[in-house]
Structure 1
Amino acid sequence: MTDLWQDPRETPEARVADLVPRMTLREKVSQLSGIWWLDPEAGGMAPMLRETLGAQPDWDELVQDGLGQLTRTFGTAPVAPREGLELLARRQRDVVAANRFGIPAQAHEECLTGLAVWGATVYPSPLCWAATFDPDLVQRMGGRIADSMRALGVHQGLAPVLDVVRDARWGRVEETLGEDPFLVGLMGSAYVRGLEEGGVVATLKHFLGYSASRAARNLAPVSAGPRELADVFLPPFEMALRAGARSVMNSYTDIDGVPAAADPELFTALLRDQLGFEGTVAADYFSVAFLESLHRVAADLGEAARLALEAGIDVELPSPKAYDAPLLAAVTAGLVDEKTVDRAVSRVLRQKCELGLLDPGWAPVEPADVDLDDAESRALALEVAQRSIVLLANDGALPLREGVTVALVGPRADTPQAMQGCYAFPMHVLVHHPEVDDGLTIRTVREALAETYDLSYAPGCPVLSGDDDDLAAAAATAAAADVCVVVLGDQAGLFGRGTSGEGCDVPDLRLPGRQEELLEALIETGTPVVAVLLVGRPYDVSRLAPRLAALVCGFFPGEEGAQAVADVLSGRVNPSGRLPVSFPDSGSSQPWTYLSPTLGRLTDVSSVDPTPLFPFGHGLSYASATWGAVTATSGPRWDTDGTCEVEVELANHADRAVSEVVQVYLHDVSSSVVRPVQQLVGAARVDLEPGAATTVRFTLHADLTSFTGRDRVRIVEPGPVELWVGASSADVRAVVALDLAGSSRQVGHDRALEPEVTLTSR
């Protein structure tokens, strides 16, 4: 007879309620952590890795009472799919055989730029997703990544990152979706839908306020008030939870002295009680132990376990440190209530139930040869890259004419590493295995451009350092050509081993190394210079940008990024990306975000002008849509509990396809608290073939105007507002004046978070 907990016909809640009382305390605790079975060479991936995990434990002893998660079976060292599947299946069979209930482990992997395993497609970085302003495309990408994960027996992906950029000096900017909470939520929730509809648990990172660390230093304390947390950092998580995310990961930082991993206000009062989240909270790697070793709020690991568990951290990752013997001892000593353990294990088991891991007859995926970088995936990676390239400036030099001689220069011109961020497998893991190839083909800009143009090449300088002779040689190469294309940017890495990436924070936004000197030398030749930036953050290029013939930004565009860059430079693709982060101007101060109030912008009371060189939402094209009328069809009255409609007419009078991103910003004329001058509340990418015309209609609920009032309650406040409709935050094509009429209204987490957008052909 099948026990109730094994019956798939029963609800997950009923099954878990039947199972948990049958388990011993040790069996429960065993479900609350993962195991990272490290390769001997894996210790270099993060500082203190070996020290934090300790000696490699005995495998049989670890799994004898069950196991919560298997950490990065594929993503720790280069293993072929069949080899990894054999390893995962063997470990899962060990886990099932060892524990009384035959419960397998939940397997997780990183998936920030695609599944981070050897030979899997490297998709563009999240900044690129955001630059597309195309949530449908990002959702397709998420679904494709989920297919790869399921084929390998992986249940959970540690992405997306929903941290809103507040200071571009932070090393993890490359992992984010930009500086606007609406855009971060829009694109992040699209990715979540792709993963979750593909059967993979999405994990939202990092709850909450991680990117507001002081001076942009990784893991530094956060100075953010409750209003900033509620109105800037929280909305993307609200949107992604509504999209179906089933896991959340904590931030490493502390807010006003309380580490996130030990904060029940965040993970119980806010996430559970207010937002209604019913999934699992996974500890960012080592963060439970960090309560003792870094934050110093716990005297020992047992106290760290108590603080984290009571706060609402259900699973300790990547391996058991505090949620092991220290937690068992704390429960036995009466320092931790076993009911708190029951709460966490119930959530873990409910998710395993949803994944089918408690069903009779469950079996691991059998070893097979799996193509993780097939033609369809590469084509999708190319499409995302093409739609993410941002043309920042152009004096007519682009697209490059046929037959011109091109001097290709720069440290990022002839390396596949230029296309990849720090969480791409080759940059994250293979740097520790130099004897192993990438497992896939990643071309360079030099290789892609050489198919179309007569190239001469000189590197000029590396990303960091360099010598005068190489700078001079590059200038000579440029002087002999019709046009010079210089490819500049970052070397992605981890914890100081790069110029961008986790732990690679910077004190200023000057281009790394001698790259600005190289650019100056090239400009001095008199040859028109087209600069291409392959970067993980926006840089201050204001000193030289006005003297460039053109400036292109690609962020980290993935394995097909070189082809996308070549397609844009040649004109085969009409550039249509838009900036998810502002580029600073000379003399501007950091941190900067376009979400600034009046006194955060240029004023007469400060000598510092923070106006960006290239603003949020900016992007040029070779041919653009023609804007027609912008009208509020619902009239000037906008009820505080109603909707308004704004229509934008677009037409394509060009001889090629065009793509426009219509952006709608809210400007609150006056309010009871200080508000940003403008903030994005709607955006729509519109593709038009030659001769086509369309009307874009935004139906905006008054909830989109809400903010946290003086009493820290979110309200829709009556009064005059304006909708600034345009092609960027600085390129406003029309101002729609409206009056929010009615009484002030409190709104909750069930409020409208996005406008309804419809396109009607004309």
Structure 2
Amino acid sequence: MTPDEKIAQLYGLWVGASNEGAEVAPHQHDMDRPPSLDDLLPSGLGQLTRPFGTAPVDPALGALSLMRTQERIAAANRFGIPAMAHEECLAGFAAWGATTYPVPLSWGASFDPDLVRVMAAAIGRDMRAVGIHQGLAPVLDVVRDARWGRVEETIGEDPYLVGTIATAYIQGLESAGVVATLKHFAGYSASRAGRNLAPVSMGPRERADVVLPPFEMAVRESGVRSVMHAYTDTDGVPSAADEELLTGLLRDTWGFDGTVVADYFGIAFLKTLHGVAADWADAAGTALTAGVDIELPTVKTFGQPLRDAVAAGRIDEKLIDRALRRVLTQKAQLGLLDPGWSPVPPALAGADLTDPESLRGTVDLDSAAHRELSRRLAERSVILLSNDGTLPLGRPARIALVGPQAETPAAVLGCYSFPVHVGSQHPGTPPGIDLPTLRQALVAEFPGAEIVTVAGCGIDDPDTKGFTAAVRAARDADVVIAALGDRAGLFGRGTSGEGCDAESLTLPGVQQQLLDALLDSGTPVVLTLLAGRPYALGRAVTEAAAIVQSFFPGQEGTPALAGVLGGRIAPSGRLPVSVPAHPAVQPSTYLAAPLARASEVSNIDPAAAFAFGHGLTYTAFEWDDLEVTGAGAGEDGSAVTGTDGEVELSFTVRNTGARAGSEVVQVYLHDPVASVVQPVQRLVGYLRLPLEAGEVTRVRVTVPADVAAFTGRDGRRVVEPGTLELRLAASSADVRLTARAELTGPVRQVDHTRRLHARVTAAPGATG
């Protein structure tokens, strides 16, 4: 291949994207008008950017257009190589008419990796059916500050939860033949003050023990084939320029052999935002040296600047060859280099391709089976934070439904759902899917009730004129359902989403004032939140009759919420992020060292109102009969094992209530004495445990000493001898049983081959 042909495989083209208008993303204005596809064709093309996720298009016609484009690309270059096509798939395939699923924060709330894996496989099958090869998901960033706008895109504040749920998602997507993409590697969510794309100040130990473990787990266990670098710089080194991260750790240590793609415009940012490159060629060379293989979303630094630099000897052509080998290997894995490759996607097989209009409406991306999956995940992610017995509601005669989320169809959607991310830029275009409002769902759930609906206020405007009508409706009702929360958007056009960071964690606009007025009405208030992040809830924590939290639960979200309120569905979600007690105190994550907690030397208490892992049910569970075994037994009843051993526990969980429910068994590790400061506790295993009324099960937990490993003073990961506590808990603040384990022997160094999981399993027991 000529240098031009090699380089052509290393960039994408965003056909149909514009750098004009108020609605484009920041720095998209800086995007050069891309060359036409015809200009690029003789040399070939590496990637096609978002053929479905740039403008609304009927899925069948979009598949046909992509097919025709691929035919042109393959026919025009000497080797017949088509492009890889990528799309967003963070809450479902981001295409018009495709099912929208709950956002990743709801995946975390479900504590159900098996269901997430099934969902991802369904998303992947739809993408492959219309000709898409790569999905830009999942997000493995660990929440460090809930003010960050992209919290809704994350899975939670705990590395183990993030790693296990993300790994399941990747396994599902990859099982459908779609290349999953880990992002954002690494540290993006730890930006200062929760500001999007702000510098990251964490040290190497926090990076190694909090930020990197989810990525490491995914690389080891998921079969992932692509990684996207983060926008941010950590201690002055941008991720796109970090050879130690992208090559030394990711490839040389962890053994990753896929492609590293640029976050959109990220290579150019080395010059424009980070100031570590003098010109576009310097930016390209820096990224290639670090280990970035593909420039997205469209050609800029990897175009003429890179070609000129290679010709002039400024950039070694071996860097081009290294990246090219990875790109072509991936295309070969996808069958794109096979002699019999066909551009016809499965969705169009056997169709009459000569009559495009006959294809309209023939590809269904929102099947009943997909909606059922979305419904199941939405139901399992609804979290009952508090309840004084008001829920389930039974049969109220008169319900006051008050709040800006009451009659808003998009209240269930995150910022990367198609109707928000793309559809919002095309006014008048229908969403392509059914989005029942909360009012509609409640009418269906409570057919005998009179439901009076008052908005009261907007999501983030300061107008309080609607308070009077809202309070009047509340006083005349048997119960108030306060429907509050966020509006997903991009770059300041929402209260949650990319570039929609929060100054504080007070509910947006005047929603807290509305909530307080409803609490003063004298009628029981059930606070129902449709949001993208946790908020401090003020008086409602102690005064609301109940609080139900949902994180943008997708198109089936409002029926799921209504079902929980009415009792048809037993709530079973658990908090993937802590709910703060105070709006201006961050971070409030449970994953904190002793000095990050309340103390006598500070007047600020960062304790959460509702802790990570918390969630109530409509039944009750009893935990007892703990047994601890290991290599030996200490005098105090603790298990004794070596720093290379494991501890085994078992205990009984019994549903003592009158109805079925799900407990989420959580295993936390507490290391009271270590050579470096440790979090007070951290999650090392969990199990979602559905039990019928009266059902009993024996839960068995195997904890390898490896999960006690941490990064020591010299930067190496070690397991130290000493005493550990294993806390068996219903949340990080609700420990039910505690076991002690004594690790004996020498300090043991471990690496990326160490065991990552405490194994938690259940064996059915007797009922009665």
TM range (shorter): over 0.9
Per the alignment, residue 121 of structure 2 pairs with 143
Q: Which residue of 2 aligns with 1:377?
A: 370
Q: CA deviation at 1:44?
A: 5.2
Three-state SS of the structure 1 residue aligned to 2:669 is: strand
Q: 1:506: Cα distance to partner?
A: 1.1
Partners of 1:587 and 1:609 within 8 A in 2: no
8 Å Cα contact 1:119/1:372 also seen in 2 = yes
CA–CA distance in 2 between the matches of 1:498 and 1:50?
Answer: 19
Are the structure 2 counterparts of residues 254 and 195 from structure 1 closer, same or farther at C-alpha, using a change threshold of 3 Å?
same
Partner of 1:113: 91
Shift of residue 586, structure 1, vs aligned partner: 3.0
Following the alignment from structure 2 to structure 1, what is the Cα–Cα distance between the partners of residues 28 and 542? 49
After TM superposition, the structure 1 stretch with the greater mean CA deviation from structure 2, 39-48 or 685-694, is: 39-48
Give the corresponding residue for 1:405. 398
Q: Aligned to 1:500, which of 493, 496, 500?
A: 496
Match of 2:691 in 1: 688
Indicate the residue corresponding to 1:365 in structure 2: 344
Give the CA deviation at 1:654. Answer: 2.7
What is the CA distance between 1:613 and its match in structure 2? 0.3
In structure 2, distance between residues paired with 1:79 and 1:202? 23
Q: Name the SS for the 1:120 alignment partner.
A: coil
Question: 1:435 is matched by which residue type in structure 2?
Answer: G
Q: Please point out which of 677, 681, 698 is paired with 1:678.
A: 681
Cα separation, partners in 2 of 1:42 and 1:240, compared to 1, 3 Å: farther
Q: In terms of mean alpha carbon deviation, does 538-547 or 231-240 score higher?
A: 538-547
SS at match of 1:680: strand
1:649 equivalent to 2:652? Answer: yes
How big is the shift at 1:533? 0.8
Deviation at 1:607, TM superposition (A): 1.5
3-state SS of 2:698 partner: strand
Q: Which residue of 2 aligns with 1:456?
A: 452
Q: Distance in 2 between matches of 1:628 and 1:110?
A: 46
Equivalences for 1:352-501 in 2 at 5 Å?
Answer: 352-366=331-345, 367=348, 369-451=362-444, 452=446, 453-501=449-497
Secondary structure of 2:683's match? strand
Q: Deviations over 1:675-713 (max 9, x none)?
A: 000000011000112332211112121110000000000
Give the one of 600, 605, 610 matched to 2:606. 610
**Contact 1:44–1:432 at 8 Å: present in 2 too?**
no
Contact 1:588 1:612 in 2 (8 A): no
Q: What is the DSSP-based 3-state SS (H/G/I as helix, E as strand, rest coil) of the residue aligned with 2:189?
A: helix
- Tell me, yes or no, if structure 1 residue 164 matches structure 2 residue 142: yes
Structure 1 consecutive aligned stretches of length 4 or more whose deviation exceeds 3 Å: 39-46
Instruction: Compute the displacement of 1:41 (Å).
Output: 9.4
What's the counterpart of residue 723 of structure 1?
726
Write the distance in 1 (CA, Å) between the matches of 2:248 and 2:99: 39
SS in structure 2 opposite 1:468? Answer: coil
Partner Cα separation in structure 1 for residue 36 and residue 606 of structure 2: 56
Q: Distance in 2 between matches of 1:519 and 1:50?
A: 39
2:714 maps to which of 711, 716, 720: 711
- Residue 491 of structure 1: SS of its match in structure 2? coil
Q: How does 1:576-591 map to 2 (within 5 A)?
A: 576-586=572-582, 589-591=585-587
| Equivalent in the alignment of 1:308 | 287
| Structure 1 equivalent of residue 739 of structure 2 | 736
1:263 aligns with 2:256: no
RMSD: 1.3
Cα offset, 1:345, TM superposition = 0.4
Distance 2:394 2:34 in 1: 59
For 2:398 and 2:41, the matched residues in 1 are separated by 63
Deviation of 1:434 (Å): 1.2
Q: 1:759: Cα distance to partner?
A: 1.5
After superposition, where does 1:178-197 map in structure 2 within 5 Å? Answer: 178-197=156-175
Conserved 8 A contact 1:588-1:610: no
Query: What do residues 430-475 of structure 1 show as CA deviations (whole Å, max 9, x unaligned)?
Result: 0011111011101111000012132011000010114333111111
CA contact (8 A) 2:9 2:46 kept: yes
Alignment of 1:61-210 (within 5 A): 61-210=39-188
Structure 1: distance between partners of 2:205 and 2:654 = 41
Number of aligned residue pairs: 740
- 1:542 CA drift (Å): 3.0
Give secondary structure in 2 for the equivalent of 1:52: coil
The answer to whether the 8 A contact 1:409-1:458 is kept is yes
Query: Post-superposition shift, 1:241?
Result: 1.1
Deviation at 1:46, TM superposition (A): 3.9
1:467-499 Cα offsets, whole Å, 9 max, x none, are: 333111111111110000011000000000000
**Deviation (angstroms), 1:43:** 5.5
**Sequence identity (%):** 56
Whichever residue aligns with residue 671 of structure 2, its letter is D
In the alignment, structure 2 segments of 5+ residues that lack a partner are: 349-358, 634-638
Amino acid at match of 1:372: L
SS at match of 1:267: helix
Deviations 1:338-388 (A, max 9, x none): 001000000000001111111011112344522100000000100000000
Q: Is residue 561 of structure 1 aligned with residue 564 of structure 2?
A: no
Deviation (angstroms), 1:547: 1.1
Partners of 1:648 and 1:661 in 2: how far apart? 14
Q: Contact 2:519–2:544 at 8 Å: present in 1 too?
A: yes
Q: 1:40 to 1:720 in 2, by over 3 A?
A: closer
One-letter amino acid of the counterpart of residue 29, structure 2: E
Question: Are residues 1:212 and 2:190 paired?
Answer: yes
From the superposition, tell whether residues 598 and 40 of structure 1 become closer, same or farther in structure 2 (CA, over 3 Å). Answer: closer
Amino acid at match of 2:521: T
Q: What is the TM-score when the length of structure 2 is the normalising length?
A: 0.95
The corresponding residue for 1:348 is 327
Give the residue type in structure 1 aligned to 2:735: V
Pairing partner for 2:547 from 551, 554, 576: 551
CA distance in 2: counterparts of 1:361 and 1:520, whole angstroms:
67
Alpha-carbon distance, 1:52 to partner: 2.7
Distance in 1 of aligned mates of 2:6 and 2:24: 29
Matched, 1:699 2:702: yes
What is the SS of the residue equivalent to 2:650?
A: strand
AA aligned to 2:580 is: P
* Structure 1 length-normalised TM: 0.96
Query: Over residues 172-221 of structure 1, what are the superposed CA-to-partner deviations in whole Å (9 max), with x where a residue is unaligned?
Result: 00000110000000100010110011111110000011101011111111
Q: Structure 1, unaligned stretches of length 5 or more? A: 1-22
Cα distance in 2, alignment partners of residues 107 and 470 from structure 1: 48
395-404 vs 436-445, which moves further: 395-404
Aligned counterpart for 1:51 among listed residues 1, 22, 29? 29
Distance in 1, Cα, partners of 2:187 & 2:541: 33
